[in-house]
Amino acid sequence: MTKKISRIGLFVAVLAIMAASFAFFAPKASASDGTFNISVYHGINGTALGLSKELPVLAEVWKDGALLATIPLEFKDRFAADLPAGTYTIMVFSTELGAYVNSMTVGPAAIPEGVEVRTQAQLAAGGTPILSVRVK
- pLDDT, tens digit, 9 for 90 and up, residues 37-52: 988 888 888 888 888 9
What is the residue range of 93's domain?
Answer: 2-135
CATH number where 131 lies? 2.60.40.10
Position with higher pLDDT, 30 vs 66: 66
- Mean confidence (pLDDT) of the chain: 73
Q: What is residue 80's predicted lDDT score, i.e. its pLDDT? A: 92
Span 17-34, average pLDDT: 50
Instruction: Report how many domains make up the chain.
Output: 1
Under the banding of pLDDT at 50, 70 and 90, the label for residue 131 is low
Record the pTM: 0.65
Instruction: Strands of the chain (E only): list them.
Output: 35-42, 57-63, 66-73, 78-84, 86-94, 99-111, 116-123, 129-135
